[in-house]
Chains A and B, each alone.
Chain A
């Protein structure tokens, strides 16, 4: 990773009518770096990506792709590859045919097309399906071909919009490997995602966007340590759905419902606290099926940020 960013966004502001969606966002992404842009719906992520892709001019602030404005200088967009959230491919055409078409549409010269397609197939590990129509591919393969179609012209910045939507665990791991491979070739990767687990596993840096502002940015592990210090997350899976009294007891122990019958809390004294909690719940007639202790994740950080904003 080099120090000079390929993407620079300074003080980006934008509004649709009277509704402000970006309120002074700064963002830098460097070659050989994976940056995950996180945030809830309506945080301004799509608007920011649209501005980076040169689709419209920002109300205020600047975007520079390798030093040039992608809106006023269309050639600057040659350094950019976009992987849309949808499978933006032609289903009736084979993988190779799709790549040839998108290669030509992204400006690859005819004589360079064959080698560009071969490299994209190699980097995305899709060469074994090159003659299969896209509509016959599995979801995971389609996602990888979706990426391949965006790297044919050798972009320096690759933007992936929700790349893991509808993808199973195995396919997601394959996808992560592809993204890391691209990062290792020196491409700057900007992922827009709701998938905090993927962001935590992949990203060198993450940025939280909320209500048009960047509220947090940094390396995932550093941010988590900074926010939670030595705290560990205790996860309690209850055996049966607690009644109202049981819920009061769990809440009294500082546990919050996560999803279904899973409850969680953060604690400085992770393992000891978990053991004490187990004994205490059993003594009160609540039998946990499982208690786990783990380091806090981006999900915890995300909740924390949401709570800060709510408190503010």
Chain B
């Protein structure tokens, strides 16, 4: 009996070729778009667009501007006309992510450089400052030394003539491209998984898009419960001996299988195009995929079963899909959200699914790290299924 309903759902999808294509081709496509869009914005390939004006027009300021223009990590351009006002105009109009105005000689005390940014792109300002400092350290170390000497002198009671002579020699060598004696960098970078390059965000969005689509497709499939009430099929079945139980269970199994096939399409794309190591972690990946699909199917049926009309169900499911996706991290990574929203996000299956996939595919965190996520996903799915059974008994 359960398989009979599975067959009804499968044939409905198979014979609607448009829906079939959208169910299994759209998810990998959306995944590719999301990963391309968001991988850049979360730090792996950020190249800010800078507009620069040199109001000081000194030898040091010209060297700084030239160094920024040559830096491959930013897309820098000179303001035309070369004024601070023009920089502000271009940032305000959105034609540049941020602006740099060199208003005084960089060796001068105080703040000779102004970074102009739009509050709606708040992250651009600190990134620009860091980039300018990096460029100065690399291309203008003599200028940095001058600034350090000027700012340090009052604290140490001035330098002796011998110290000033040594500094002048070092400065002359730095100006010719030498390195500062004992000038070790403040930071050293270490990636958490040294062998993997560029896959963290991809694995994140593979999980994010797969749970998004699993829930979306499950909600659409669960709407057939309402259609069956409207078309009299439910009346016919309720007049029989078994009631709607096998119907709900059959739909649950189909929607779970559908979610798994969608996730497979997404992760196959992730492995083929981005090298996300799915096959290398096949067992835990499969378990996560099954449980995420169980969760989506149960949740969708549980919600739709309590709706009396198709309009109610459509409105509610659209609302729930959008809200869960937004706060669960399917649209924007959760670490970019306010702390309280990150906490709220743990109430969504999306957060747990993404966490489980990240733990398995990116962090190599081991099974102990994913058990809580698996438990939450399984429990949510089974509670939803239970609610769907209860609702179909109550709503006659």
The answer to whether B197 has its CB under 8 Å from any CB of chain A is no
Alpha-carbon distance between A83 and B237 when the two chains are bound, in angstroms: 10
Say yes or no: A85 contacts B232, CB within 8 Å: yes
B227-245, CB < 8 A from A: 230-233, 235-243
Contact of A86 among B231, B239, B242 (CB under 8 A): B231
The answer to whether B11 has its CB under 8 Å from any CB of chain A is yes
Q: With A84-B232, A92-B12 in contact, is A105–B7 under 8 Å at CB?
A: no
Alpha-carbon distance between A50 and B239 when the two chains are bound, in angstroms: 9
A252-276, CB < 8 A from B: none
Dominant SS among interface residues on chain B = helix
Q: Hey, which chain A residues are within 8 Å of B236, CB to CB?
A: 82-84, 88, 102, 149-150
Q: How many residues of A contact B (CB 8 A)?
A: 34
Q: Hey, which chain B residues are within 8 Å of A107, CB to CB?
A: 1, 240-242
Interface flags, B207-245, vs A, CB<8A=1, else 0: 000000000000000000000001111011111111100
B8-51, CB < 8 A from A: 8, 11-12, 15-16
Q: Which chain A residue shows the least CB distance to B236? A: A88
Say yes or no: A92 contacts B11, CB within 8 Å: yes
Say yes or no: B242 contacts A88, CB within 8 Å: no
Say yes or no: A77 contacts B240, CB within 8 Å: yes
Q: Which chain A residue shows the least CB distance to B234? A: A88
Contact of B12 among A90, A102, A104, A106 (CB under 8 A): A90
B43-71, CB < 8 A from A: none
Interface flags, A155-175, vs B, CB<8A=1, else 0: 000010000000000000000
Say yes or no: B7 contacts A88, CB within 8 Å: no
Alpha-carbon distance between A97 and B5 when the two chains are bound, in angstroms: 11
Say yes or no: B8 contacts A101, CB within 8 Å: yes
Say yes or no: B11 contacts A106, CB within 8 Å: no
Alpha-carbon distance between A92 and B12 when the two chains are bound, in angstroms: 6
The answer to whether A293 has its CB under 8 Å from any CB of chain B is no
Closest Cβ of chain A: how far from B45's Cβ, in Å?
46
Contact of A77 among B1, B3, B239, B247 (CB under 8 A): B239
Q: Hey, which chain B residues are within 8 Å of A93, CB to CB?
A: 8, 11
Q: Hey, which chain A residues are within 8 Å of B8, CB to CB?
A: 90, 93, 101
Alpha-carbon distance between A292 and B240 when the two chains are bound, in angstroms: 48
In the complex, which of the residues A74, A75, A85, A105 has the most CB atoms of chain B within 10 Å of its own CB atom?
A105
Closest Cβ of chain B: how far from A5's Cβ, in Å?
19
The answer to whether B4 has its CB under 8 Å from any CB of chain A is yes
Q: Hey, which chain A residues are within 8 Å of B121, CB to CB?
A: none
The answer to whether B246 has its CB under 8 Å from any CB of chain A is yes
Alpha-carbon distance between A56 and B396 when the two chains are bound, in angstroms: 9
Closest Cβ of chain A: how far from B189's Cβ, in Å?
57
Closest Cβ of chain B: how far from A25's Cβ, in Å?
19
The answer to whether A127 has its CB under 8 Å from any CB of chain B is no
Q: Which chain B residue shows the least CB distance to A150? A: B236
Say yes or no: B240 contacts A105, CB within 8 Å: yes
Interface flags, B354-396, vs A, CB<8A=1, else 0: 0000000000000000000000000000000000000000001
The answer to whether A305 has its CB under 8 Å from any CB of chain B is no
Q: Hey, which chain A residues are within 8 Å of B396, CB to CB?
A: 55-56
The answer to whether A78 has its CB under 8 Å from any CB of chain B is yes
Q: With A101-B8, A102-B236, A104-B1 in contact, is A74–B231 under 8 Å at CB?
A: no
Q: Which chain A residue shows the least CB distance to B224? A: A90
Interface flags, A87-109, vs B, CB<8A=1, else 0: 11110110001001110111100
Closest Cβ of chain B: how far from A107's Cβ, in Å?
6
Interface flags, A67-87, vs B, CB<8A=1, else 0: 000000011011011111111
Closest Cβ of chain A: how far from B251's Cβ, in Å?
12
Alpha-carbon distance between A40 and B87 when the two chains are bound, in angstroms: 80
The answer to whether A54 has its CB under 8 Å from any CB of chain B is yes
Say yes or no: A92 contacts B239, CB within 8 Å: no
Say yes or no: A88 contacts B232, CB within 8 Å: yes
Q: Which chain B residue shows the least CB distance to A106? A: B240
Q: Which chain B residue shows the least CB distance to A113? A: B4
The answer to whether A53 has its CB under 8 Å from any CB of chain B is yes
Say yes or no: B235 contacts A101, CB within 8 Å: no
Q: With A100-B4, A105-B4 in contact, is A74–B241 under 8 Å at CB?
A: yes
Say yes or no: B12 contacts A86, CB within 8 Å: no
Closest Cβ of chain A: how far from B6's Cβ, in Å?
10
Alpha-carbon distance between A74 and B241 when the two chains are bound, in angstroms: 5
Alpha-carbon distance between A105 and B243 when the two chains are bound, in angstroms: 9
In the complex, which of the residues A54, A90, A102, A159 has the most CB atoms of chain B within 10 Å of its own CB atom?
A90
Q: Hey, which chain A residues are within 8 Å of B241, CB to CB?
A: 74-75, 77-78, 106-107
Alpha-carbon distance between A75 and B241 when the two chains are bound, in angstroms: 5
In the complex, which of the residues B11, B12, B236 has the most CB atoms of chain A within 10 Å of its own CB atom?
B236
Say yes or no: A53 contacts B231, CB within 8 Å: no
Closest Cβ of chain B: how far from A271's Cβ, in Å?
47
Say yes or no: B4 contacts A104, CB within 8 Å: yes
Alpha-carbon distance between A255 and B239 when the two chains are bound, in angstroms: 46
Closest Cβ of chain B: how far from A146's Cβ, in Å?
8
User: A55-B238, A74-B243, A101-B7 are known contacts; what are 4 more A-B pairs with Cβ within 8 Å?
Assistant: A55-B396, A82-B235, A84-B232, A88-B235
Q: Which 4 A-B pairs have the closest CB atoms?
A: A84-B232, A88-B232, A86-B232, A104-B4
A positions within 8 Å CB-CB of B: 53-56, 74-75, 77-78, 80-90, 92-93, 97, 100-102, 104-107, 133, 149-150, 153, 159
Some 11 contacts from A to B, beta carbons below 8 A apart, are A53-B235, A74-B242, A74-B243, A75-B241, A83-B236, A84-B236, A86-B230, A88-B236, A105-B237, A105-B240, A105-B246
